[in-house]
Amino acid sequence: MSNIMPLIRNETIKMVKKKRLYIIFIVLAVLVPMFTYAQMKSAENNRDKFGGDWRLELQQAITDNQNSLGSDRVPEEYKKYRTVYIQQMQYYLENDINPKEPGGVTFTREFMNNAVGLFIPLLIMAIASDLVSGERTTGTIKMLLTRPVKRWKVLLSKLITLIMFVSIIVVSAYVICYVISGAVFGYKGFGMPIFTGFKVVGTDVDMSAVHAVDQWLYMLMQAGLIWFVSIIVAMLAFMVSVLVRSTAASIVIMMAALIAGTILTSMAASWQSAKYLFMVNLELPNYLSGGLPPIEGMNLGFSLIVLSVWGIASLFVSFIVFTKRDILN
């Protein structure tokens, strides 16, 4: 492994020199204040409407959702989500805990929960999709492969470097969210209790395993799941980068897959086989909060296995193709 360290160092230098990496941080620094401002305006409106009484606000949300269940204009699938939401919010109300306690920590938790399905994967894709195809386009891969180093070591150094920077991006997203939103909402809230352990059975929620954890612990579990999702997306984008010669084509393929996954997740309930697609299994933190899975029967263990299989298969294909195929022409 000693001769792989210079390769990793070389890949790290190349990654640091890429403008695309800094664009990711700029995107986060621009978008997070926009979402923070939107959240602030929403909080102001609710404060004016309910006089700062979160119980009244939560009860109104429960009543609105209950009223919508009788409407013929609301699709049956949405009614299931709202039924589960009502039961969970009633549980929070009965236990006198505000699930949306204003604060930078709560904003960060909610933002990352919503970002894991598409936003974070798109950021990861931006750095992973050209790791190999980009060097084939510029021709630098020829110089790299003429060195007396086995091809699998060259690819492994790229993969290790990618995992390092994926980790940096996930941590940076948390830090940027917390720092920016905390300036508006305050930096407290790590000790706030969050309920987890909701088990959805049909349209009912099993409360027998529900327990409260501090928000910092909840976010630690959430961050682990988001990091795992990001690594799997990175491995898939890495494979596409090996298979496709053009960087543009590599980005388009991954972007199409991720956007298709977002659409499928909202309409896959009647297509049981869709649960084996990696795109439908990306929202792992949803299992922590007890949300309704995209397809009945899915759970955290199932999604972890499906994503692991996709990740291992993508690595297998990447190394086989890179070591066997003539990629210099």
What confidence score (pLDDT) does residue 1 get?
Answer: 58
61 occurs within a structural domain? no
Q: How many angstroms separate the CA atoms of 1 and 251, rounded?
A: 31
- φ/ψ of 130, rounded to 5, equals -120, 15
176 occurs within a structural domain? yes
Domains in the chain: how many in total?
1
95 occurs within a structural domain? no
215 occurs within a structural domain? yes
Domain span at residue 198?
Answer: 2-51+100-322
- φ/ψ of 196, rounded to 5, equals -140, 165
Using CA atoms in the order 317, 318, 323, 327, what is the torsion angle rounded to 10 degrees? Answer: 110
**pLDDT tens sequence across 264-304:** 776 666 678 888 999 889 999 999 988 888 887 888 999 99
**pLDDT tens sequence across 188-215:** 889 998 988 888 777 677 888 888 899 9
Q: Record the pTM.
A: 0.90
Average model confidence (pLDDT) across the chain? 87
123 occurs within a structural domain? yes
In order, the DSSP letters of 241-303 are HHH-S-HHHHHHHHHHHHHHHHHHHHH-TT-GGGGGSGGGG--THHHHHTPPPSSTT--HHHH
59 occurs within a structural domain? no
**pLDDT tens sequence across 128-142:** 888 888 777 777 777
77 occurs within a structural domain? no
Q: How many angstroms separate the CA atoms of 5 and 24, rounded?
A: 26
Nearest C-alpha neighbor of 134 from the set 19, 4, 8? 19
62 occurs within a structural domain? no
- φ/ψ of 139, rounded to 5, equals 90, 0
